[in-house]
Amino acid sequence: MSAVETMASSTSKPIVLLLCLAKQPYFEEMYAHMLAALHARATLSASKAKQLITAPVSERPDAIYAIDAGVSKAKSNKLLKHLITYCKEGGTVVLGGNFTNHFSLGEEGTKFFAKWGVAWEPGSYHRTTVYLNPNGIQGLDTRGLEPSFSIKALYLANVDPNARVYSPSAQSRMQSHVFAPASVDTAQTPAAFTRLGEGYLGYVGDVNAEDAATKVILRMLHL
């Protein structure tokens, strides 16, 4: 019996693989509410990542949540290829948690997303108020998500408008104790979700474990 079959036999909950390659010591404390929400809705696995990702489709986890940027590093290139294949063959992969805190910016970050086949680019890093896409997002149940909230995040640029879960408005301003309340790029998004082959790729750039961002992550994981 496979690892996934063993987990599935003990519960009817969806199976979510936590992909953790560069875990930080503060992660469990900082993201305690998010981990509790995941545990309440899914069976979590944090072991044998490659075996689960490359297993037959019927034995794979329902979704994979990459909670750090380890998968974006050169030493993880082989695993990344398996992860992309898993996604394109019908899996769901969400990049979030502590991912953005150690993610390479600029050209390296753009190259990482290009490997997935998306044109996303690392954008600005700031806090502002963002608003839920009123047109909805393909494959994402947005019911129960906050209509708007303030989030400090690494935003993404060059994301198709139909894949921007949240975006700033023309009235949104940078929220900072140091910098002036300047206008922000309304074409950038802190949360993106798009179809990739037969599956889905999600990104949440939240860096402060906001409750509203946790709701987005749960929805992206179909929980």
Q: Report CA torsion sign: 147, 148, 149, 151.
A: positive
Closest by CA position to 94, among listed 14, 197, 19: 19
Determine which helix (DSSP H) or strand (DSSP E) holds 80, and give its type and residue range.
helix 77-88
In the predicted model, what is the mean pLDDT of residues 184-202?
A: 97
Determine which helix (DSSP H) or strand (DSSP E) holds 165, and give its type and residue range.
strand 164-168
Higher-pLDDT residue of 216 and 176 is 216
Model confidence, pTM = 0.90
Closest by CA position to 115, among listed 71, 159, 153: 71
Say what the pLDDT of residue 1 is.
34
The residue whose two tokens read 């979030």 is 96
**Cα–Cα distance for residue pair 202/206, rounded to 1 Å:** 13
Mean pLDDT of the residues in the chain:
89
Looking at the predicted structure, is the pLDDT value of residue 50 above 90?
A: no
Topology (CATH level 3) of domain 3-220: Rossmann fold (3.40.50)
**Residues forming a β-bridge with 129:** 150
Contact criterion met (CB below 8 Å) for 109 and 119: no
Residue 159 DSSP symbol: -
Name the 3-class secondary structure at 104: coil
